[in-house]
């Protein structure tokens, strides 16, 4: 198989050498952001739920009719709140993604007398947006929810599409619902001060999305690596738009992940297991990239993907500074994969890339998967 991106890799200047998971090639100089007026990226219908994604400036982020505001200790200060607005501040990070946090939101909503038509607004990364929407789906069997993603990962993936939930111990998102927010308000300006590790966390999902459904985005990521790492304003806005459109199209077609929405799980079955076994030493985006490499290796072994194209993708990941090898025990990772919530009739579904925008769903023998996990 000849990759349409072969010439890009052949003539592009060499990528930076691989670096560790937690240390990247350089600290980027962040350019000033242009702040747009509120602009609709697209209005969607997800399984009958109207939902729209919009770009806006910081002053437009908080809806005027918000009845309850949810954030964590890191994101609470990003948005100015009117005096007297009810709020819940959560523990940041994956370790806080448990039932106690959702219970706190629900109890506050009851104490404040929120009704079914009241609006809960959540501002934060994927953890906050997942839990806010989960609480909104439960309160009075569903109240209004608007999400304000503050991380790149949440902007391009987590906040859109209606997946909500909490973890069960170290097993990710085992308890949840499908409940799309009526609106996702995205302000690229918030990425200016995002820690580098969190920015790279989001870029993992961007790279995955490009492989799944956008040839132009993949080409942009190949050709404009330095600008992407420097958080160039125009390129970031284009990246966010394209990721929203790819994911939105798949979710409109398949809200409850019975078919092609599963493509968005590329790298996730492997990656979630690595996160669990490492007790979240691996960030989500880094684990997804590692998982995508494992999916590529499986695809090559099955004769689906070209070895040359798989190597091109690995070179792209290395060029962005991602670690492609894990020290965790392959058998432990395989055992953790058995808890994956995307099983069908007791069997794990694996999302395998056969080529750019050519994604397959396969059921694989556990012994075959173990051999793939052992590959260094």
Q: Domains in the chain, please, with CATH? A: 1-29+203-376 (1.20.1090.10), 39-194 (3.40.50.1970)
Check residue 86 and report its DSSP letter.
Answer: E
Write out pLDDT tens, residues 221-274: 999 999 999 999 889 999 999 999 999 999 999 999 999 999 999 999 999 999
pLDDT at 314 over 60: yes
pLDDT at 285 over 80: yes
Provide Rg for the chain, Cα atoms. 20
Least confident of 33-47, 66-80, 120-134, 324-338: 33-47
Q: Which of 190, 175, 68, 39 is nearest to 124 (CA)?
A: 190
The catalytic residue positions are 141, 163, 205, 247, 257, 261, 265, 268, 272, 284
**Cβ density class 19-40: b for 16+ within 10 Å, e for less:** eebeebbeebeeeebeebeeee
Asked whether the beta carbons of 217 and 86 are under 8 A apart, the reply is: no
CA distance 160 to 127: 13
Give pTM, 2 decimals. 0.87
Q: What is the mean pLDDT of residues 209-229?
A: 97
pLDDT at 25 over 50: no
Element holding 205 (H helix, E strand): helix 196-213
pLDDT at 125: 97
Q: What is the mean pLDDT of residues 31-54?
A: 83
């Amino acid at each position: 198989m000849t990759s349409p991106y072969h010439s890009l890799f052949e003539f592009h200047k060499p990528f930076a050498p691989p670096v560790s998971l937690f240390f990247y090639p350089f600290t980027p100089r962040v350019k000033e952001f242009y702040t747009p007026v509120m602009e609709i990226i697209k209005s969607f219908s997800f399984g009958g739920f109207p939902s729209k994604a919009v770009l806006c400036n910081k002053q437009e982020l908080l809806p005027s009719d918000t009845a309850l505001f949810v954030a964590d200790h890191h994101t609470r200060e990003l948005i100015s709140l009117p005096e007297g607005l009810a709020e819940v501040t959560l523990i940041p990070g994956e370790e806080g993604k448990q039932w106690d946090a959702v219970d706190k939101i629900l109890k506050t909503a009851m104490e404040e007398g929120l009704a079914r038509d009241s609006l809960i607004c959540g501002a934060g990364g994927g953890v906050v947006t997942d839990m806010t929407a989960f609480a909104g789906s439960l309160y009075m069997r569903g109240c209004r929810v608007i999400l304000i993603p503050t991380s790149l990962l949440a902007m391009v993936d987590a906040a859109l599409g209606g997946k909500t939930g909490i973890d069960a111990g170290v097993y990710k998102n085992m308890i949840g619902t499908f409940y799309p927010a009526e609106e996702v308000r995205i302000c690229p300006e918030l990425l200016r001060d995002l820690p580098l590790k969190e920015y790279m966390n989001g870029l993992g999902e961007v790279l995955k999305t490009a492989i799944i459904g956008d040839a132009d985005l993949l080409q942009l990521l190949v050709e404009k690596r330095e600008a992407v790492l420097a958080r160039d304003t125009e390129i970031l806005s284009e990246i966010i738009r394209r990721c929203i459109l790819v994911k939105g199209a798949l979710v409109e077609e398949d809200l409850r992940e019975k078919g092609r929405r599963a493509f968005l799980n590329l790298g996730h079955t492997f990656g979630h297991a690595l996160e669990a076994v490492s007790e979240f030493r691996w960030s989500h985006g880094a684990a997804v990239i590692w998982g995508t490499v494992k999916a590529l290796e499986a695809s090559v072994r099955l004769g689906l993907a070209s070895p040359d194209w798989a190597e091109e993708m690995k070179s792209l990941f290395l060029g962005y500074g991602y670690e492609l090898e894990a020290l965790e025990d392959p058998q432990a990772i395989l055992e953790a994969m058995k808890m994956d919530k995307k099983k069908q009739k007791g069997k794990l579904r694996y999302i395998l890339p056969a080529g750019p925008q050519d994604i397959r769903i396969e059921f694989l023998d556990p012994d075959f998967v173990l051999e793939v996990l052992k590959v260094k």
